[in-house]
Structures are given as structure tokens and as C-alpha cells.
Chains A and B, each alone.
Chain A
Amino acid sequence: MTPFLDLTDLAIAYPPRRVIEGVSLRMDRAGIGCLLGPSGCGKTTLLRAIAGFEPLQRGSIRLRGGELSRPGWTLPPEQRRIGMMFQDLALFPHLTVADNVAFGLRGWKAAERRARVHELLRLVGLDEYARRYPHQISGGQQQRVALARALAPRPGLLLLDEPFSSLDVALREGLAREIRAILLREGIGGLLVSHDQFEAFAFADEIGVLREGRLLQWDSAYNLYHRPVDRFVADFIGQGVLLPGRIGEDGRVLTELGIIDGALPDGYAPGDAVEVLVRPDDVIHDDASPLNAEVAERAFRGAEFLYTLRLASGARLLCLASSHHNHALEQRIGIRLDIDHRVMFRRGHGAGAEAGRND
């Protein structure tokens, strides 16, 4: 089966700087993906390359098997049938809401065009605002107009360049979910660019983490959290600490908090110094446990407390506990580890150190 979107070994440069280096990713069906990374990681450049605004130095971009870009040749954006929502929305200020939505429908019969505009405005719940100008409607409404405009020409793929960043958090998640539902219903693939993991989790089925122009991992949100392949991914997605330990003769890892079980991945040998990823939800507060640690910081989050614990060695640990367990600073509380997937990295290596993963 031809994959829906296929990027192979992309390289993009603003000479003399390489912005994207060796990125490959595949979306098998018209699902919803997200490119996640800190600012400056190249995620927007990658999105713009897919849209046809950035030429390639190397590699190729294919959509449903058809080649869109290769070095020296770039299908112009206007011929790609790829919709895009921009960070600043880029609504045309000189056109009404309806005319904005109709912008991409040139060449349609007038009646069909009217019907399509009407259909989309109803879809995003703005049919009463058709004659308003962009500056006459609210930020959230502008967002919907931008969505309707991008969807109107029935693109095969919709690219979203941080379109929610100007909205407040409450509005943001609702709209992300809404857009997701619309895309799935219309059978349009989506690719979002974001620096916010919660937005990514709420929106996308597959997420790619980018750092300095390289794609570190393209995976489900669950796997990114529980099975990061890279120290950076582990650090960037969710919270957690890296607990030092050493691999024992039987492949188990010995740490200050005892033994952590798991199969030994390739390339690791008994005796190696490693660090094990410990998420806050891996640390269970248990008064009956022989292990204990001192509360160094605490943050009340309503349903739960996030405790920062100090171990005897001075190492720190994060622990999520039900908010019934109200402990004061410097109090010692009992904990035990409950790690499903042991993720470890070699100690002493830089951030790019190879990950050892076991299932």
C-alpha cells in the first residue's frame, strides 16, 4: 500500500546553515500527526517544505505516492492541494469571512462555490458571520474562519503551524479536539506543528519529536512518554528524573531505590553505569514501604500533589500522590517504584546518548 505521506531523508538548508538534516517519516493513512519540538528545532521549516515553500537539498516528499518535492524541483504550493493554517492565521483583511473562505475556490461554479462556503461556515458554526470582516470577529472565530478557508478546496492534507498559540488554554484544547473531529470526518490528513506536548497529545495520533533539525522519534504519545528512544525525548516529553544505577550480573539494574527489573537491551553489558528514567507516576507513595525519602518541594494540583523528594544520596525524585496525602516539607514519606517499562541511558554521555529500551 502506498503510504499517505512519505518523507525520505530530507535535508533543507538556509546556507550555510542546515535546518533539517536527514528527516524521514511515514504516515501510512490519512491520520493526524504532530511535529513537536522546542523553538528553532526546524519543525516549521519541515512543515513549510511539505507545503512547498522550502526547496529540498536532499530527499523527497510524496503524498499518496505522488512526488511533490525533490532536489532542484518543487511543485509550487498552489498546485499541491495541501491546505495550511498559519500561526498568525493570515486572514485576508480586505475580504469578508465568506470571501476568505471562498478564496481557494476559484474556478468553481458560482452556485457550487456558494454552497461549499455555506457548508463550511456551518461546519465551524459561523454561518451568521459570513458578511463580517476578520477584524470584526473574535480570536476564536478568526481561528475557525482560517480552518474553514483551508478546508474549503478539499485538500488532501491540512498543515497547521501552531494555529492555537494565540488562544488561551481553555479555548485551545476545545478547538484542537474540534478540528481533529472535523478532519477525521472529512477524511483529511492533518499535520500539526507545536511546541506544546499537551496540545500534541490532544490532537495527534502520531507525534514526531524534533531537535536541531533531526527527527528523534516518530511514535504514539504513549510510546514517547513510556518508551523514549533518546535522553532528549525523555526529558522533553513529560516529567521525570534519571536515577543513576549499574547493571548487575543478571541484567537487572541496581539503584539507590533497589533493583529495577527488565530485559537487557542490545549493547549493554553487566557492569555498565546507566541512568534509569523514573516518571512521577512510577513512584508510588506507600507508607508501608521500607524505602523513604524527604519532601523537598511540593506543588498542589487539586486532585494530586507533585512532590519533589530528596534521597539520601541527594538525588531527587518526582512523585505523584493523591491529594489526601498531605505531607509537610522535610517530612519523610514511604515510597516504592512501580516501573512498567524500564528505560535507561548510558551514564556520562551527552544528551544524545543512545537509549536502551526494553519491553
Chain B
Amino acid sequence: MEVDITRFQLLSRWKRGVWARADRWTWLVVGVALALALPVLTVFATALQPAGPVWRHLAATVLADYVRDSVLLMLGVGVGALLIGVPAAWLTSIHEFPGRRWFEWALLLPMAIPAYIVAYTYTGLLDFAGPLQTALRDWFHWTRRDYWFPEVRSLPGAVAMLALVLYPYVYLLARAAFLDQSVAVLEVSRTLGAGPWRRFFAVSLPMARPALIAGVSLVQMEALADYGTVQYFGVGTFTTGIFRVWHGMGDSAAAAQLAALLLLFVFTLLAFERLSRRRARFHHTGNRRQRPTRIALRGKRRWLATVVCLLPLLFGFLIPAGQLTIWAARTAPHMLDGRFLRLLTSSLSLALGAALLILALALLLGYGRRLRPWPLTRLAVRYAGLGYAVPGTVIAIGVMLPFAALDRGLDGWARHWFGVSTGLLLSGTLAALLFAYCARFLPVALHSIEAGLARIRPSMDDAARSLGSGPRAVLWRVHVPMLRGSLLTAVLLVFVDVLKELPATLILRPFNFNTLAVRAYELASDERLADSAPFALAIVLAGIGPVILLSRAMGRSRPGYDAVP
């Protein structure tokens, strides 16, 4: 029924023929969106091929392990993020204790460190030759056999690493939910005799449930997308499996089939996330926007709260960042050479180029959708926005396959007609890599731009039009100047995301082309942890930018605080 109405509207609006040259925008939006959806479509299309021998081999041997470890990782990281994020959010949003104001934003800092960097930092700290075990042995005069120490390079280790850097998603959404809850509801429960624990478990937590589910879904999507940590720890999940099948066995179809299976998991989580976000809106209770009076904790409790908030920050950021700094200080003299500088420039310019390209595309999609708010463009933009949920590994496979096919086609054509081989024109070039970045990170920019565009009233467009500006002039003369903040945010977020990106870059980078992330990862994989630290630290420093942005946005969205337009 609903579909029929939509189709009817689509057709009748189509027939209305808005303006003579209108449809250029529509086709542009749909074309870009389709191109960006190409990787996912390719993966699903390839996955529909009949199962080859490699897939049958996989199914008979390791597939069950991949599924089991992926599911365990997903569940473990989800629970871990909840256990860290929810108490921190509950404490900082409702209570007052020493350092509360500072923790509010500092708790986001672990987001600045990619999981694989945390992973190898802790490996360096905790493995047999690391400072902790060495110190223990020195103090107690133990030898290797005298004691048991947990192995960090394991599935539980990976769970811990990912939970430590991903909990901020839960923290952010839970915090927003707690702050959004009507003060009246909490006050009513107090008049009904509910103590602090009862208020938390019987009132606040159930009301925040949709937000928590959304947060956990996001965390789990990120956990499933992780490649660096699980690979480094030798855990067999989908992403490591895809790599193994792709590189080790050279079977693209089987890799795509594995990728499609991973996508099914991811899209299920995505559906959960979207659904809970929608529900979260209905859970919004009461419109009385009142600055909540924080509950001042007293005595031992206040220090307990401080410790509870300090622990995730300590383990998620301070220790790894500190260790990286120590290593970097030691190795910088011989690592900071011309090669480092070249790598830094190429990595930064790649990230900047990708960010600007993505910004342009996102602006095109966002503005095109505003100009032509039809079901077709809306659908197109929605699908272009799915990329962020798709793991980099999957995107890479989805880019590699069509590019390679195109290359083979071109090569065959050139050889047939001109007798020359063109070799690999597209795959293995920066073009392929940039395309993958676009498919994966466009939603980040799009989100920021759409939020900005939504704040510009449609009458602004109309006013500019009635004053003689065409659609493109409106974009340049009205929207771009008014969107400056959103555009900068978009560029910064994408820039840092590209800088941190590992799996897609590993698969798609041109021969001999390196980024900070890849180099850090390669050195760490070669057990040259200290040598990789300068590269890792550069990434972490860049990653602090978005955290600052986020914390400022958090401040603005605080109830009772009027945002300056």
C-alpha cells in the first residue's frame, strides 16, 4: 500500500516536470549514489555465484570458527562497552563529583586512538618481554614457569582492546538519553521513595534503553569491521578470513561470499540501530526542559565516582598514549628522517585530497536532495549513506572486483585492436583507493552537511532564487558561506578517518605507496613496536581533533543551553 502511494507520487511528480532543466540534478544525485553503492552491490552480486571449491573448503573447515569468533567478539565488545559507558554516562550526566566537568569530555578521548594501535601498545606493555612482566619477574625473582599471566593476544584480549576504545559511542548516546530524561520523572520517583539505585535501575535505565541499544549496535558494527586488532592478535573473524582468502588463496568469489555474510551481520545491527533511534524519539518524556540539578555525591562515594570515570580514561587513553610517547621519544631520533617526512606528506595529502573530494560529493548529494526532495533522490541519498556501516575490508573487495574486471576488459580491448597491453590502469592506483574512501566515508561528510542544510530555512533558497540566482549560484552565494562550520567539520572528520583507515588501504594501495596507518601497522607486525610509535602518535594527535569537535557539540546540545545559530 505504502509502496504504491510512493510510486504514484513519484510518477505524478515526474509528470509535473518541475523545471525544464530540472532532471540533471536528479540524475547526478542518483548517479553518484549508485556509484557509491557499487562496492556493496558487487559483493552481493559476486556472493550469488555458485560456491567454488575454496568456499566449500572454508565451509567445511574454518567458517564455523569465523562465525563463532565474530559473534563472541561482537557480544563481548558490546557488553564491555555497556559496562564502561553506562556508569560513566550516568555519573557524569546526573551527579556532581570531583573532576566531573573534565571527565565529561575527556571520556571521549579513547576515540582518538585506533583499536589496532591500542592493541599493539598493550602487547608491548603486557607480553613476556614487556615492562610489566619484566618488573614482576625482577621483584619476585620468578622465572617463566613460576607464574601465570593472561595472554593479551587472544580473543578476550581483542574484546578488551575494542571495548576500551569503542565505549565512547555508548557513553555519548547514554549521556544524551540521561540528560534528555525529564527531571520530573526522576523527581516523582524520589517522592515515591526510590533511592538512587532504584532510580537508576527502575527508571533511568529502562527509559534509556533505545539509546543504549543504538549505541551498542554502533559499537558492534565497529567491532565487526575491525581488522587490525584481530589480525594482530591472531583471532579468526570475518575480516581476517576475508584477507586470508583474498591474499592467501586468491579466490575473489569466496572472499566476496565471506564479505556478504559479514554484511548480513552488519545490516542486522544497522537495522537494530535505526529502529532504536526511532524508538528513542518516542521515549522522550515530557517537554519540560529544565537544567537538571545534579546530585552532589558525598564522602567515599564521590571518590568512587571519580575512580569509575578515571579507569576507562586511564586504560583507554592515558596508558596507551603515554606508552606511545615514551617509545616515540626513544625512537624518534632515528625514525624521523626524510622518509618519515615523505610518508607524512603523502599520507596527509592523500587524506586531505580524499576529504575534499568527499566533501564535494556530499555537498552535491545533500544539495541535490534539497533541490529535488523526491522519493527517488531521497532513496539514493539514503543508500549512499550506508557505506559507513560497511567494513573497510568489504568495501575494498567490492572496489577491487569491478576495477579489476574493467582493467581486464580494457586490456583485452587494447590488445585486440592495437596489439598493446594496457596492464592495470585503474586497480592498484590511487583512483581505486580514493573511490573506496568515498564509498566508506561519504556518509560522515553527508551527515554533517545535511545537518547544516537542515538549519538553513527553505525560504533562504527561495529568496535567493527570486533575486535572480540560479540553483548553482544559490549554492555558492548562500549555502556554502552559511555552511562554513559544517563543511569544516566534515573535512576534519573525513580527514582523520582516512588517516586512520587500515584494511581498505592495505588491500587497495598502489605498490610502494604507504600511509601513516599502514606503516605503523607494518612495523608493529614486525614486532618493531617502538619504531612504529612516531607514526601511531601522529595518528592519535590527528584523532584528537574530532574529539574536541564532539565535545563542543556535546556542550551545545546540553539542555538549557541555547545554541548560538
**Chain A interfacial positions (CB closer than 8 Å to B):** 13, 15-16, 48, 51-53, 55, 57, 72-74, 76-84, 86-90, 92-95, 103-104, 106, 149-150, 152-153, 159
Least CB separation from A81: chain B residue: B468
Docked-complex contact A53 and B465, CB < 8 angstroms: yes
Q: Which of B465-511 contact A (CB under 8 A)?
A: 465-470, 473, 477-478, 481-482
Given known pairs A16-B8, A88-B459, the reply for A76 and B466 (CB within 8 Å) is no
A52 to B16, CA, bound (A): 13
Docked-complex contact A153 and B468, CB < 8 angstroms: yes
Docked-complex contact A77 and B18, CB < 8 angstroms: no
A51 to B18, CA, bound (A): 14
Docked-complex contact A92 and B466, CB < 8 angstroms: no
A94 to B477, CA, bound (A): 10
A90 to B453, CA, bound (A): 14
- A-B pairs with beta carbons under 8 Å apart, 26 shown: A15-B9, A15-B12, A15-B13, A16-B8, A51-B462, A51-B466, A52-B465, A55-B16, A55-B19, A57-B16, A78-B465, A79-B468, A80-B466, A86-B459, A86-B462, A86-B463, A88-B459, A90-B460, A92-B478, A94-B481, A94-B482, A95-B481, A104-B469, A149-B463, A149-B467, A153-B467
A13 to B460, CA, bound (A): 23
Docked-complex contact B462 and A78, CB < 8 angstroms: no
Q: Which of B9, B20, B468 contacts A104 (CB 8 A)?
A: B468
A152 to B18, CA, bound (A): 28
User: Smallest distance from the beta carbon of A351 to chain B beta carbons, Å?
Assistant: 30
Docked-complex contact B465 and A76, CB < 8 angstroms: yes
Contacts of B464 in A (CB 8 A): 92, 103
Docked-complex contact B465 and A82, CB < 8 angstroms: no
User: Smallest distance from the beta carbon of A182 to chain B beta carbons, Å?
Assistant: 18
Docked-complex contact B481 and A77, CB < 8 angstroms: no
Contacts of A16 in B (CB 8 A): 8-9, 12
The answer to whether the Cβ of B416 comes within 8 Å of any Cβ in the partner chain is no
User: Could you give, for residues 441-465 of chain B, a 1 whenever the CB lies within 8 Å of some chain A CB and a 0 otherwise?
Assistant: 0000000000000000101101111
A114 to B302, CA, bound (A): 64
Contacts of A86 in B (CB 8 A): 459, 462-463
Given known pairs A57-B16, A74-B19, A92-B460, the reply for A84 and B482 (CB within 8 Å) is no
A81 to B466, CA, bound (A): 7
User: Smallest distance from the beta carbon of B353 to chain A beta carbons, Å?
Assistant: 27
A153 to B18, CA, bound (A): 25
Docked-complex contact A90 and B16, CB < 8 angstroms: no
Least CB separation from B565: chain A residue: A93
Least CB separation from A84: chain B residue: B466
Q: Other than A16-B9, A57-B16, A94-B481, give 5 A-B pairs with Cβ distance below 8 A.
A: A13-B12, A15-B9, A86-B463, A103-B477, A106-B469
Q: Which of A73, A78, A81, A149 contacts B470 (CB 8 A)?
A: A78
The answer to whether the Cβ of B17 comes within 8 Å of any Cβ in the partner chain is yes
A55 to B22, CA, bound (A): 12
A78 to B474, CA, bound (A): 10
Contacts of B12 in A (CB 8 A): 13, 15-16
Contacts of A77 in B (CB 8 A): 462, 465-466
Least CB separation from B5: chain A residue: A16
Of all A-B residue pairs in the complex, the 9 with the closest CB atoms, nearest first, are A104-B467, A90-B459, A90-B463, A77-B465, A15-B12, A84-B466, A86-B459, A94-B481, A78-B468
A230 to B19, CA, bound (A): 37
A81 to B465, CA, bound (A): 10
Docked-complex contact B466 and A82, CB < 8 angstroms: yes
A53 to B19, CA, bound (A): 10
Least CB separation from A103: chain B residue: B467
A159 to B290, CA, bound (A): 42
Contacts of A83 in B (CB 8 A): 466-467
User: Smallest distance from the beta carbon of B459 to chain A beta carbons, Å?
Assistant: 4
Docked-complex contact A84 and B463, CB < 8 angstroms: yes
Least CB separation from B12: chain A residue: A15
Given known pairs A15-B13, A82-B466, A106-B469, the reply for A76 and B19 (CB within 8 Å) is yes
Q: Which of A81, A90, A106, A152 contacts B462 (CB 8 A)?
A: A90
Residue among B16, B18, B478 having the largest count of chain A Cβ atoms under 10 Å: B16
A89 to B473, CA, bound (A): 20
Least CB separation from A77: chain B residue: B465
User: Smallest distance from the beta carbon of A21 to chain B beta carbons, Å?
Assistant: 16
Contacts of A88 in B (CB 8 A): 457, 459
A16 to B465, CA, bound (A): 27
A15 to B10, CA, bound (A): 9
Least CB separation from A101: chain B residue: B467
Given known pairs A73-B20, A94-B481, A103-B477, the reply for A78 and B469 (CB within 8 Å) is yes
Docked-complex contact A74 and B18, CB < 8 angstroms: yes
Docked-complex contact B8 and A15, CB < 8 angstroms: yes
Docked-complex contact B470 and A76, CB < 8 angstroms: yes
Residue among A52, A73, A76 having the largest count of chain B Cβ atoms under 10 Å: A76
Least CB separation from B464: chain A residue: A103
Contacts of B477 in A (CB 8 A): 103
Contacts of A81 in B (CB 8 A): 468
Docked-complex contact A106 and B468, CB < 8 angstroms: yes
Docked-complex contact B466 and A78, CB < 8 angstroms: yes
Docked-complex contact A93 and B482, CB < 8 angstroms: yes
Contacts of A152 in B (CB 8 A): 467
User: Could you give, for residues 2-38 of chain B, a 1 whenever the CB lies within 8 Å of some chain A CB and a 0 otherwise?
Assistant: 0000001100110011111000000000000000000
Contacts of A79 in B (CB 8 A): 468
A321 to B477, CA, bound (A): 58
A247 to B230, CA, bound (A): 95
User: Smallest distance from the beta carbon of A126 to chain B beta carbons, Å?
Assistant: 18
User: Could you give, for residues 75-101 of chain B, a 1 whenever the CB lies within 8 Å of some chain A CB and a 0 otherwise?
Assistant: 000000000000000000000000000
User: Smallest distance from the beta carbon of A142 to chain B beta carbons, Å?
Assistant: 13
User: Smallest distance from the beta carbon of B529 to chain A beta carbons, Å?
Assistant: 49
Docked-complex contact B462 and A53, CB < 8 angstroms: yes
Contacts of B470 in A (CB 8 A): 76, 78
Contacts of A95 in B (CB 8 A): 481
Contacts of B20 in A (CB 8 A): 73-74
A51 to B459, CA, bound (A): 12
Contacts of A53 in B (CB 8 A): 462, 465
Contacts of A94 in B (CB 8 A): 481-482
